[in-house]
């Protein structure tokens, strides 16, 4: 007897008397398989409480594919590292970039390497620092930054203060007006830019004077007594 209100499927009329218990048993078996995911390929189901599913999400879902945050994100005192050189006002900046701005540097997007010969199979957007002595399509572009646009090379001639990160060696270089030098290294004074020899305060004045007649420290020396000063080279 069916409970009151039960919708009847008249296709059951084809079932034999002994089939009904078998179908009930099969329904129970299917329900059990669904509850335990038994016999169902991993690629076709996900149970959010399963450790495997959580690990799969962590390994395969890009953060950029997630929903954009709508509230502040606390980092729990953890650092964000590996940021690219900022090029837009809204880009995040690294400490190195901030330090360089304070020092008056003009940061450029990073380059892959320093080369004198164009690579054989560049990818669009690949950038290189051209060094001497350049060959092929790079002839005459020493010190320029070469970027592959998909069909040819575009060149950027550096200005004084250009700074760039070289990915292959993991270091920074700065253009001082005549050459690219390692960022943070000691630079020979003669290579400094904007300085003319002997007309700026950065040069040490090595001129000294000998006094024939010494005077007691702290005493007032009459002007006439300074006549005995002689220049010593």
Sheet of 113-115, strands arranged across: 113-115, 127-130, 145-148, 153-156
Distance CA 202, CA 192 (A): 10
Cβ neighbours for 75, distance < 8 A, ≥ 6 positions apart: none
C-alpha–C-alpha distance, residues 169 and 112, integer Å: 9
**Which CB contacts under 8 angstroms, 24+ apart, belong to 48-54?**
none
Q: How far apart are CA 202 and CA 208, in angstroms?
A: 17
Residues 6 or more apart whose Cβ sits within 8 Å of residue 169:
113, 114
Reported pTM = 0.43
The pLDDT of residue 86: 82
Residue 229: CA atoms inside 13 Å, Cβ hemisphere, count?
13
Encode the chain (233 residues) as per-residue pLDDT tens digits: 556 666 655 555 555 555 556 666 666 676 666 666 555 555 555 555 577 777 877 888 888 888 888 999 898 999 888 888 787 888 888 887 787 777 778 889 999 999 999 999 999 999 999 999 999 999 999 999 999 999 999 999 999 999 999 999 988 999 999 999 987 655 556 655 565 555 555 555 555 555 555 656 656 666 666 655 555 55
- pLDDT reported for residue 110: 93
């Amino acid at each position: 007897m069916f409970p009151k209100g039960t919708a009847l499927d008249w296709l059951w009329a084809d079932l034999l008397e002994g089939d009904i218990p078998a179908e009930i048993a099969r329904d129970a078996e299917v329900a059990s398989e669904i509850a335990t995911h038994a016999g169902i390929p991993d690629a076709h189901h996900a149970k959010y409480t399963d450790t495997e599913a959580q690990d799969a999400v962590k390994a395969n879902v890009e953060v950029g594919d997630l929903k954009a945050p709508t509230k502040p994100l606390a980092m729990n005192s953890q650092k964000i590292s590996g940021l690219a050189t900022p090029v837009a006002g809204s880009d995040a900046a690294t400490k190195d970039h901030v330090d360089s701005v304070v020092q008056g540097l003009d940061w450029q997007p990073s380059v892959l390497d320093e080369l004198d010969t164009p690579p054989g199979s560049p990818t669009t957007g690949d950038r290189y620092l051209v060094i001497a002595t350049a060959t092929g399509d790079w002839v005459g572009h020493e010190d320029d930054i070469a970027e592959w646009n998909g069909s040819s090379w575009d060149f950027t001639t550096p200005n004084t203060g250009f700074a760039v990160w070289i990915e292959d060696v993991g270091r920074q270089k700065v253009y001082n007006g005549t050459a690219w030098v390692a960022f943070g290294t000691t630079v020979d004074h003669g290579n400094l830019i904007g300085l003319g020899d002997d007309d700026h305060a950065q040069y040490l004045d090595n001129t000294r004077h000998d006094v024939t007649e010494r005077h007691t420290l702290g005493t007032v020396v009459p002007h006439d007594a300074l006549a005995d000063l002689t220049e010593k080279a």
